[in-house]
Amino acid sequence: MPAALSFQSVSKRYAPLRGGAPAFVALDEVSFDVAEGGILGLLGPNGAGKTTLISILAGLARASSGRALVLGVDAQREPLRARRLLGVVPQELASDPFFSVREALRLQSGYFGIRRNEAWIDELLAHLGLADKADAQPRHLSGGMKRRLMVAQALVHRPPVIVLDEPTAGVDVDLRQSLWQFIARLNREGHTIMLTTHYLEEAQALAGRIAMLRKGRLVALDDTAALLASTRASQLSFTVAGAAGDAGQAGVLERLPAALLPQARVTGRVVQLNVQSADDVEQALAAVRQAGLLAENVEVRHADLEDVFLNVMAAR
C-alpha cells in the first residue's frame, strides 16, 4: 500500500536573479512519508520551505529534483490525477469576485468534472458554518469565513488526502476550535491530513506525527509522543518583580545571573528555563535570589511541543 503522501529527496532551488540576488535553496533533499489515515503536522519557522513543499505537491511549483507522490501518483508527472486525490487549502484566498460562495463551490466541483454535487456542498456549508453565507460574495466574508470557504473549496471533490497550509492563521478562537474539530472529524472518517501551523499547542493536540523543516532541511520527524518524550526537561518559569522587573526585559536581562543567561528565554518580565530535576529548580531560584531578584508566579511544567521545536531549531 503506498503512503498517502511521499516526499522523496525533494529539492527546490531558485535561480539567481539578474538584479543580483544569489541562488537560493528553498528545499534541500527533503524526504518523508505520511501514512494513510494519519495527521502530520509540518512545522518550521517563517521561510523554512513549508509552502514550497505544498506548492510542489499541488502542482503549483516544480521541484528542481526529487519526487512528490500522492497515494503513489507522481504530482509532477501526473498532476491532474494527483490533484483529484488531493485537497489543498492554500494560505491565500484566490476567489473570483463575480461568484457567490455556493457558485464558487459549484465551479470548483466543475473543475473536477463533478456535476451534481449539491448535497455535498450543502453538507460542507453546514459543517463549516457557512450555510447562511451561501449567497454572499466571498469578498464580503470575514477573514475567518474566507478560510472556511477555502477549506470547503479544497473538499468539494472529497479528496482522500487533505493538505492545509496554516488553516487557522488570523482566525479567532471560536472559529479555530471548530475548524480543528472539523479537521479531526475528516480524519476520523478516513482522510489523511497534512497541515502547517504556527500554533504548536494545536499541532500537539491534533497531529500524531510531526515533521520539522528548518532552512529547507528536514530536521525532525517522529511521532508527537516520541518527540515530547525525548525532551525530558521541564520548564521553570517565573516573573521578575521589583525594580529589575519594572525596567522590563532590559532590566531582567541585565540582572539575571550570568550562569542562567545562555539557556534562559526572557519575554518581558517572564523568564523560562529548562530544568531536569528538583535540584535544578532550587539552584536556579537560589541564583536568582542571590542576584537580588524577586521571583513571582513560580511554575514548573512539562515540556510541550513548543519547547521541543525551540530546542530542535536551536540545535542546528
Residues that bind ligand ATP in the complex, under the rule CB under 6 A: 14, 24, 26, 44, 46-52
* Of residues 61 and 85, the one with the C-beta less far from ligand ATP: 61
Rounded to a whole number of angstroms, the minimum distance from the CB of residue 241 to ligand ATP is 36
CA distance 186 to 168: 16
Of 21 and 226, the one with the shorter C-beta distance to ligand ATP is 21
Question: Which residue has the CB atom at the shortest distance from ligand ATP?
Answer: 51
Judged by CB, which is closer to ligand ATP: 12, or 84? Answer: 12
CB of 24 to ligand ATP, least distance (A): 5
Q: Output the smallest distance, CB 23 to ligand ATP, in A.
A: 9
Q: Rounded to whole angstroms, how far apart are CA atoms 106 and 122?
A: 11
User: Are 216 and 44 in contact, with CB atoms under 8 Å apart?
Assistant: no
* CB-neighbour burial class of residue 261 (10 A; exposed 0-12, middle 13-18, buried 19+): exposed
Q: How far is the CB of 50 from ligand ATP (least distance, A)?
A: 4
Would you tell me how many other CB atoms lie within 10 Å of the CB of residue 204? Answer: 19
CB of 85 to ligand ATP, least distance (A): 22
Report the chain's C-alpha Rg in angstroms. 23
Answer yes or no: are the C-beta atoms of 306 and 274 closer than 8 Å: no
Whichever of 38 and 44 has its CB closer to ligand ATP, that residue is 44
Residue 189, SS3 per DSSP: coil
Q: How far is the CB of 313 from ligand ATP (least distance, A)?
A: 12
**Least separation, in Å, of the C-beta of 213 and ligand ATP?**
6
Give 32 or 238: the residue with its C-beta nearer to ligand ATP.
32
Q: How far is CA 315 from CA 50, 177, 213, 219, 310, in A?
A: 20, 32, 13, 10, 8
* Beta carbon nearer to ligand ATP, 221 or 285: 221
CB 207 within 8 A of CB 34: no
CB nearer to ligand ATP: pick between 14 and 99: 14
For cell 525532551, the residue is: 231
Continuous segment of H or E residues that includes residue 271: strand 270-275
Nine-digit cell string for 74: 507522481
